[in-house]
Amino acid sequence: HRSRVRSSGVEAARPAMMNSDMDAVEAENQVELEEKTRLINQVLELQHTLEDLSARVDAVKEENLKLKSENQVLGQYIENLMSASSVFQTTDTKSKRK
């Protein structure tokens, strides 16, 4: 019970300037806390954006590999068709004339 009286007495004995300084410090701490919270939220949002972009890059890489493979198959198919067709056969006119 004495501590209560003491602390109340101490608080009452504080000059008004000291209370004002403490209020200013508390307000500054609150501003810093809000800024830290805002920055943490911004970092978390950026992390989620990075995760989304990374997943998208992986999907595009996978699609790119699939398309490259399909292009190779199509290229080989076209090459086979061209070699089988007489239209695309090379003709050596000099050897036929001799």
What is the pLDDT at residue 44? 98
Cα gap 55→58, rounded to integer Å: 5
| Mean pLDDT, the chain cut into blocks of 10 residues (98 residues total) | 50 61 88 97 98 98 98 96 82 54
Q: CA separation (Å) from 14 to 18, 27, 36, 81?
A: 6, 19, 31, 98
Question: Does the pTM exceed 0.75?
Answer: no
What is the pLDDT at residue 90? 66
What is the pLDDT at residue 55? 98
